[in-house]
Structure 1
Amino acid sequence: MADVASRPSDHSLGRPGGPASRYSRALSFSLIGPLLLLLLVGFLYPIAALIKLSLFTPALDFTAYRKIIEQPIYLSVMARTFRIALSVTIASFVLGYPVALAMASLKRRLAAVATAAVFIALWSPVLVRSYAWIVLLQRNGVVNNVLQQLGLIEAPLKLIYNEGAVILAMTHVLLPFMILPIFAALRSIPQEYVCAARSLGAGATMAFLRITLPLSLPGIFAGCVMCFILALGFYITPALVGGPGTLIVATLIGQQATVLLDWPFAAALSTILVIATLTMVLVFRKAFSMSKGFASVD
């Protein structure tokens, strides 16, 4: 009893003199100072410079933004970029959630092997994986040769240099970013919750829908946000696997900045992409926060 009474309670963490207040304010700021400086120099300053470049050339001018609105081709590129990013996110979730669920149900050693396999795919260079899809999907590639040998097709199919090939290749590249956060969220769910639901008469499907799925929403949120944001800024894979008809914003920005040297217009495209990305993150956050499973981590 004496040991129990002598332990500091959880509420004492926030009291003066507790573990949370043992550092002075000056020391706390000195500890987080390098991170704040890195955030300022590596993130906030470049974004501010982009916004300034898109608006002041040298005086206040909205020509670059009017160009995006007035010319339908740029709005079409924007819409295609968000459509591909959303499709890749949905495909990654549909394919990644069952894999993460299977990994979470494995024993420790087998789970470590499965996690290593996912990390190996994550560490593989994007350029190599993109070229692998070119080998598989090209006119004389592996897929067309197999289909012809099986007699399923007479002439090679056009499987590459289209939007479907871009979505497929990008999903393959971004799948680990969906699997790992969901796997971490599933592993943190106590199995006693599911056992309690089953003992109270819930079936396997009901236990999954009422217990496992809601409690895994933080991992789903993290995976969806990472996949969506990374898909919006993808450059290498769409440039290699896609064709002229699958131009996306990242490729368009590269062309404007390096080929046409229209830096204000490239900055305007980048600014719109950043604003749209932040908006979509807030939308994801609001949608997932409606779940009790997600709200429990706040």
Structure 2
Amino acid sequence: MNINTFISIENDLKILDKNLKKMVGAKNPMLYAAAEYLFNAGGKRIRPAIVLLVAKSTMKNGIIKAEHRRLAEITEIIHTASLVHDDVLDDCTKRRGLDTVHYVFNTKVAVLAGDFLFAQSSWYLANLNNLDVVKTISKVITDFAEGEIRQGLSQFNMNISVNDYLEKSFYKTASLIASSCQGAAMISNANLIEQNCFYTYGKHLGIAFQLIDDILDITGSTKLLGKPTGNDLKNGNLTAPLIFALSETRVLYKYINREFQYKNDIQKTIQNIKDSQGIQKTKDLAKEHIQASLKALQNQKESNTKNNLKEISHYILTRLK
């Protein structure tokens, strides 16, 4: 991303970081320690940044409301809670370059910390006193559960289609970005057409983000990702590059069928995916969703904020470089 992408909301993001630590003030010291550890781990804060940029874009005077700030904070809390639960389910030992919560503490603390964060987000959401926003964001937590169930039921399933996979990706990743964009527009009292445009922008951005994540799980390094590569494969989560590669490389069925139990199965699978058109086809699909996200912004008035939102779309693809 251009160094100026977040400059207009730089102070807002600093406030967000301070508020996140205040918002997770659990009475139980172990829960507090786990939650504080999570937010100290940092992260790019892309989701709250998008919320704040949509807020600026939809306010006539460009001034972000307190409710927008709170929605950005809620969005990051929900995202973080979902990561904690994901790491437990996938038995992932690293996240953002640090040991995961269940690895540092234990699985019970991690599950409770995730539950606590979801509960905190619901409390702060209710206190926005905006029923439409509450309904929109509450649906996200249901979508997370739906995505996890779908993923759990389709482990090592060689019959999963690209469409099935994209649906699951919507529930697990894109739903939060789409709904928080829409929620920001709602708080600004934007009209329904504008609300739907930003929902569409967030939806396609989120799907593209997930597709690029899947490529990086195959081609990236642990240092770059902040978590082990090939982790999805190990857990039986068949992602887009592998689904595309299956149509070309029959030997992959053998590795999946035996659930990558042999010593070099993961490495061989990764190499077979790299040798196929799977990564290129996934990148092409991500580009389609990036274009759809940009198209959703077409009717918005020209502004620096709109350009910042476009830059975020373009940034998704540059993560591969």
- State the TM-score, normalized to the length of structure 1: 0.27
Higher relative contact order by CA 8 Å / sep ≥ 6: 1 or 2?
1
Higher Cα Rg, which structure: 1
- State the TM-score, normalized to the length of structure 2: 0.26
